[in-house]
């Protein structure tokens, strides 16, 4: 695998997937970033038990391939790169990857890419698309009322209810309650509790200068959020808010 890309784009992509990588991963393989290079794109993937994030950026691919690299070392080295572009070259004989940018030149030992799970993919049962400013308003006006107590996971998320052409977001910690409504006549009915960490990632990825759309899809107990080239997949919070 050999590719080059803009250093700033790679830095941003790493920061995007970092949210899904725990500092104390449940298993060592989840402590790495999975990078796939093909079709003049590179895809970065990070995941743990409850959250998976993938993002794609443009690159100049000389040789397709994939690697699994330790997150901490990789992210810290890329931050130190002072060149406008960075070249990454997998050296199979040494099981290392070479990072070259400007005057900087480093090698990092690779992890076993065959141990990394496939990124979650599914054909959704239901999908709703919401404009960026509208969903940011829904989140802002409700998520502040949620609990941060992980012992009560039901109240750490926001209830999203879609019925009769109206989207209702509800946040509560049982002591305070926040409700926000949005008319959306082209939406399928839905009743789910979106985890707070997913809402946080939606907000973080809505930073573009151009208008963006947020596509929220469901299958069984999973939610998938697509924002441009970024995909966020998480388990839904199970349970039902009290009436």
Q: What residue has token string 């759309």?
A: 213
Q: What residue has token string 């994939």?
A: 66
Kindly report the pTM of this predicted structure: 0.92
CA distance 137 to 130: 11
CA distance 87 to 81: 11
Give the range among 1-10, 41-50, 63-72, 145-154 with minimum mean pLDDT: 145-154
CA distance 238 to 153: 9
CA distance 240 to 116: 34
| Torsion angle, alpha carbons of 136, 14, 198, 144, to 10 | -60
For 133-171, what is each residue's pLDDT tens digit?
999 999 999 999 999 988 888 999 999 999 988 999 999
Q: Which CATH number fits domain 2-115: 3.10.150.10, 3.40.50.620, 3.40.47.10, 3.10.20.740?
A: 3.10.150.10
Stretch(es) of the chain classified as CATH 3.10.150.10: 2-115, 126-235
Residue 15: its pLDDT value, please? 94
| CATH number for the domain formed by residue range(s) 126-235 | 3.10.150.10
CA distance 33 to 69: 5
């Amino acid at each position: 695998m050999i590719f080059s890309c803009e250093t700033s784009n790679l830095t941003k992509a790493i920061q995007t997937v970092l949210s899904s990588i725990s500092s104390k991963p449940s298993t060592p393989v989840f402590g790495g970033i999975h990078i796939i290079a093909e079709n003049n794109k590179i895809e970065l993937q990070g995941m743990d038990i409850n959250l998976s994030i993938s993002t794609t950026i443009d690159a100049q691919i000389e040789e397709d391939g994939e690697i699994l690299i330790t997150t901490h070392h990789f992210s810290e080295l890329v931050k130190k790169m002072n060149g406008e572009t960075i070249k990454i070259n997998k050296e199979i004989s040494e099981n290392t990857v070479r990072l070259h940018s400007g005057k900087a030149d480093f090698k990092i030992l690779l992890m076993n890419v065959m141990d990394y799970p496939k990124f979650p993919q599914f054909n959704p049962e239901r999908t709703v698309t919401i404009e960026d400013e509208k969903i940011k308003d829904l989140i802002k006006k409700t998520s502040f009322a949620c609990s941060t107590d992980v012992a009560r996971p039901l109240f750490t998320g926001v209830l999203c209810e879609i019925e009769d052409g109206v989207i209702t977001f509800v946040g509560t910690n049982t002591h305070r309650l926040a409700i926000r409504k949005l008319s959306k006549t082209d939406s399928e009915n839905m009743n789910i509790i979106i985890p707070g960490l997913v809402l946080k990632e939606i907000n973080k990825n809505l930073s573009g200068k151009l208008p963006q759309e947020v596509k929220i899809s469901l299958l069984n107990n999973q939610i998938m959020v697509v924002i441009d080239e970024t995909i966020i997949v998480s388990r839904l919070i199970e349970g039902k808010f009290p009436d």
